Amino acid sequence: MIGSSLQGLLSGSIIAGTPLLYATLGEVIGERAGIINLGLEGVMLMGAVVGFSTTVKTGNPALGVFAAALAGALFNMIFGFLVIERRANQLASGLALMFCGVGLSALLGAPYIGSQIKGLNEIRPPILSDLPVAGPILFHYDILVYLVLPIAILVWWALFYTRWGLSLRAVGEKPTAAFAAGKHPYRLQYQALFIAGLLGGIAGAHLSLAVAKTWAEWMTAGRGFVAVALVIFSKWHPLRAIAGALLFGGAIALQLQMQARGVPVSPFLLDMLPYLLSLGVLAVWGGARRHAAPASLGQVFRGTE
């Protein structure tokens, strides 16, 4: 009994943590380039709705994931134009993007409310998935869950062990110095936001294609903001984000488990868990991590006078 609920909790954390991790990785890349994007919520919604509608129309969830990633990236370019080209305030632009995403996804998704899809197939690798305990916990997921760890490692490698990553981080720390060293701050920031959009779109697609398998208005329910909090929690580091996403996914899974088991606590109070956990963890970790933030986060390169 306890074993099975623990097992359910662990696999629930992995499933709920996956979209969070995709979104967080995207936000890490953007913030490493000095851009904080509160519009992630909108990007995820666009990914969720485009992924879902593509899947309904074509019956091919893989195509849905690609469409979602592309939609997320293109949608994020609106934000890029505002904060990079027009040097607009990043926080306000992010919120505007969120609004746009909420509205546009509602408009696009209206015909698909109630549509049924099979969603992403569960892939059970032979032998591994038959292992006694590890099998059900680790090896009965859709492709996006298996891919998220390699992608996290790839992001880590790209940010810290490639010339591109070094330039990107230099832009996030001190764009004028990066510019003087022959880098292109604007181009790098656009690239960062494009990739962030791809990952945000995939995050949304995982919600609508693998977790919920339906479309509902504002189905991300603040997960985009939780991901922004997760970036701080993980000190802008892609590998620490894995642990963070699992922890926060765990909060979501715990709440679902308690509801499923009929624990006599109002579902509304349980639903608060992920948000309160985000706040609590940020508060406790508070002072120590302040210096980990990219130095120019929130500022925009204005060229050199």
Partner 1 sequence: MGLTAEQANKAPRFRRGWWASSIRFFGLFVLAFLVFAILLLAFGKNPIKAYIDIFSSTLGSTYGFSEILVKMIPLTLTAVAVAVPSRIWLINVGGEGQLYIGALFATWGALTLNSLPPWILLPLISVFGFLGGGLWASISGILRAKGWVSETISTLLLNYVAILLVNFFVFGPWKDPESANYPQTAEFVDAATLPAIGGTRVHMGFIFVLAALTLFYFVLSRTRWGLEMRAIGGNPEAARRSGIPISAYITLLMFIGGGLAGLAGMIEVSAIQGRLRPSLSPGYGFIGFLISWMAGGNPLGIVAAAFLLAVVTAGGDILQMAHGLPGSAVNILNALILFVVLSRQGGKVGVK
Residues interacting with partner 1, by CB under 8 A? Answer: 36, 38, 78, 81-83, 85-89, 91-93, 95-97, 99-100, 102-104, 106-107, 109-110, 217-218, 221-222, 225-226, 228-229, 232, 266, 268-269, 271-272, 275-276, 278-279, 282-283, 286-287, 290, 293-300, 302
CB of 115 or CB of 129, closer to partner 1: 115
Longest dimension (CA), the chain: 68
CB of 235 to partner 1, least distance (A): 12
Nearest to 227 by CA among 52, 29, 76: 29
- List the beta strands (DSSP E) in 38-163: 122-123, 141-142
Residues 188, 33 contacting (CB under 8 angstroms): yes
CB of 68 to partner 1, least distance (A): 19
Residues 67, 49 contacting (CB under 8 angstroms): no
CB of 27 to partner 1, least distance (A): 12
In the block, which residue shows the tokens 């991790």? 21
CB of 1 or CB of 284, closer to partner 1: 284
Q: What count of other Cβ atoms lies within 10 Å of the Cβ of residue 284?
A: 9
39 vs 47: CA distance, rounded Å: 13
CB of 266 to partner 1, least distance (A): 5
212 vs 284: CA distance, rounded Å: 32
Helix, strand, coil tally for the chain in percent (to 5): 75, 0, 25
Nearest to 23 by CA among 215, 208, 200: 200
Which two tokens mark 253? 């899974």
CB of 162 to partner 1, least distance (A): 24
User: Which of 93-103 are b and which e, b meaning 16 or more Cβ less than 10 Å from the residue's Cβ?
Assistant: bbebbbebbbe
CB of 107 or CB of 123, closer to partner 1: 107
Is the Cα torsion angle 168, 170, 172, 178 positive or negative in sign? negative
CB of 260 to partner 1, least distance (A): 19
CB of 153 or CB of 279, closer to partner 1: 279
CB of 54 or CB of 255, closer to partner 1: 255
CB of 81 or CB of 160, closer to partner 1: 81
CB of 264 to partner 1, least distance (A): 12
CB of 71 or CB of 78, closer to partner 1: 78
Size of the chain in residues: 305
CB of 85 or CB of 122, closer to partner 1: 85
46 vs 140: CA distance, rounded Å: 27
CB of 263 to partner 1, least distance (A): 15
6 vs 11: CA distance, rounded Å: 9
